[in-house]
């Protein structure tokens, strides 16, 4: 039996119902998070749940649970589903109200759902690297909000997948921003570059973890925007996200990146990242 959370209550998945006038369903009016679970424990839960609050604040949506309350609920969701390795997806919408663009009164209850997925680590792609496709970033200018509105991201991802690629690398003119569902970084002469945490990207939690690891391990890095030319001339390119962790990109638009194989800095970061997971969640088998 699979359990999900609907408005703070645990229900069996087949019994879960949401109203067709939920603003998340009709407008994408809400925010979400995806949290990794290793050995039945959440990785960087505080960071994700704090970002959820910040995303909410940026669109005038007040999450009615503290980080601690959410952590308790999600821990129960993990245990009810006996989730060992996988992800938790959760979202808050601006609730159910007759369809009308202005926000409804703040007194209506937000729509809150969460569910789990049993999914392994993408070891093959992490070991061998993946291909990426360049794509003009046509999304809105609040990419720092983890909003339910993902159509721009989906269009980019779909085009990449149709071209046999794992990810789209988006750029606004000459400036590389981020992937469709990941952050993008390059390595040049041993130094890591990644777009600064502005409104043009989601400030990824995985990104924050590896930047911290760079700092602690004397790996040079800069949160500086880089260009398409920098990208195509980089020694290494990698993407980062909750589900993909740190994944080498070895081809862009069918041109090899560097030697066309995962590079040493990316591999070092993968190793440090795994160590960080194990510190929080225990040994990964
Ligand atoms: N996506 N940028 C975008 C547009 C993303 O959707 C994501 C994550 C990231 C990386 O963020 P983090 O390291 O916090 O996962 C960057 C999640 C996994 C998703 O939508 O499934």
3-class DSSP state of 198: coil
> Is 146 marked active-site?
yes
- Taking alpha carbons only, the member of 224, 206, 210 closest to residue 268 is 210
Q: State percent of the chain over pLDDT 70.
A: 100
Condensed to tens digits (0 to 9), the pLDDT of residues 214-235 reads 999 999 999 999 999 999 999 9
Which pLDDT band, with edges at 50, 70 and 90, does 105 fall under? Answer: confident
Write the CB contacts of 75 (distance below 8 Å, at least 6 apart in sequence). 42
Report which of residues 285 and 151 the model is more confident about: 151
Condensed to tens digits (0 to 9), the pLDDT of residues 242-260 reads 999 999 999 999 899 999 9
Name the active-site residue from 33, 178, 236, 245. Answer: 178
Which residue's CA lies nearest to atom 11 of ligand 1? Answer: 204
Question: Residue 25 is encoded by which pair of tokens?
Answer: 């369903």
Question: Residue 70 is encoded by which pair of tokens?
Answer: 């959410």
Say how many Å lie between the CA of residue 242 and the centre of ligand 1.
6
Condensed to tens digits (0 to 9), the pLDDT of residues 8-61 reads 999 999 999 999 999 999 999 999 999 999 999 999 999 999 999 999 999 999
* Whether residue 102 has pLDDT greater than 80: yes
Q: Is 243 in the pocket of ligand 1 (CB under 6 A)?
A: yes
Q: State percent of the chain over pLDDT 90.
A: 98
Dihedral Cα 277, 281, 283, 285, nearest 10 deg: -90
Q: Is 203 in the pocket of ligand 1 (CB under 6 A)?
A: no
Q: Within 13 Å and on the Cβ side, how many CA atoms surround 174?
A: 4
Looking at the CA of residue 153, tell me the nearest atom of ligand 1. 4
Contact 278, 215 (CB under 8 A): no
Q: What pLDDT was estimated at residue 107?
A: 78
> Is 32 marked active-site?
yes
* Whether residue 120 has pLDDT greater than 90: yes
| DSSP state at residue 247 | E
Residue 189, Cβ density class (10 Å: 0-12 exposed, 13-18 middle, ≥19 buried): exposed
Element (H, E) at 35: strand 30-38
Condensed to tens digits (0 to 9), the pLDDT of residues 176-196 reads 999 999 999 999 999 999 999
Let me know the angle formed at the C-alpha of 274 by 269 and 278, rounded to the nearest 5 degrees: 145
> Is 84 marked active-site?
no
Q: What pLDDT was estimated at residue 218?
A: 98
Distances 76 to 17, 49, 105 between C-alpha atoms, Å:
20, 16, 31
Which residue's CA lies nearest to atom 19 of ligand 1? Answer: 181
Q: What is the mean pLDDT of the chain?
A: 97
Q: What pLDDT was estimated at residue 254?
A: 82
Q: Within 13 Å and on the Cβ side, how many CA atoms surround 276?
A: 22
* Whether residue 204 has pLDDT greater than 90: yes
Which residue's CA lies nearest to atom 20 of ligand 1? Answer: 181
Q: Is 93 in the pocket of ligand 1 (CB under 6 A)?
A: no
Q: What pLDDT was estimated at residue 285?
A: 86
Q: How many beta carbons lie within 10 A of that of residue 32, not counting itself? A: 18
Question: Residue 59 is encoded by which pair of tokens?
Answer: 């669109």
- Mutation choice for ligand 1 from 241, 246, 269, CB with most ligand atoms inside 8 A: 241
* Whether residue 117 has pLDDT greater than 90: yes
For the chain, list the domains and their CATH numbers. Answer: 3-118 (3.30.470.10), 123-281 (3.20.10.10)
Q: What pLDDT was estimated at residue 137?
A: 98
């Amino acid at each position: 039996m699979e359990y999900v959370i609907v408005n703070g209550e645990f229900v069996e998945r087949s019994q879960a119902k949401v109203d067709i006038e939920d603003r998340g369903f009709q407008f994408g009016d809400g925010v979400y998070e995806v949290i990794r679970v290793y050995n039945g424990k959440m990785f960087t839960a505080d960071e994700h749940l704090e970002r959820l609050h910040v995303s909410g604040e940026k669109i005038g949506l007040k999450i009615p649970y503290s980080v601690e309350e959410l952590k308790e609920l999600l821990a129960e969701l993990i245990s009810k589903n006996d989730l060992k390795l996988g992800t938790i997806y959760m979202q808050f919408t601006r609730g159910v109200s007759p369809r009308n663009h202005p926000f409804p009164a703040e007194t209506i209850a937000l729509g809150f759902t969460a569910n789990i997925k049993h999914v392994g680590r993408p070891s093959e792609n992490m070991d061998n690297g993946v291909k990426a496709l360049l794509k003009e970033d046509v999304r809105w200018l609040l990419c720092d909000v983890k909003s339910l509105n993902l159509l721009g991201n989906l269009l980019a991802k779909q085009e990449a997948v149709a071209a046999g690629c794992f990810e789209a690398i988006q750029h606004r003119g000459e400036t590389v921003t981020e992937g469709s569902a990941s952050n993008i970084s390059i390595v040049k002469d041993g130094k890591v570059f990644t777009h600064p945490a502005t409104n043009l990207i989601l400030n990824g939690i995985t990104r924050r973890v590896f930047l911290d690891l760079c700092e602690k391990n004397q790996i040079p890095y800069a949160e500086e925007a880089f260009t398409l030319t920098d990208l195509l001339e980089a020694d290494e390119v990698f993407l980062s996200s909750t589900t993909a962790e740190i994944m080498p990109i070895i081809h862009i638009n069918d041109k090899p990146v560097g030697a066309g194989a995962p590079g040493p800095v990316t591999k070092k970061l993968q190793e440090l990242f795994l160590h960080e997971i194990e510190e929080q969640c225990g040994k990964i088998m």
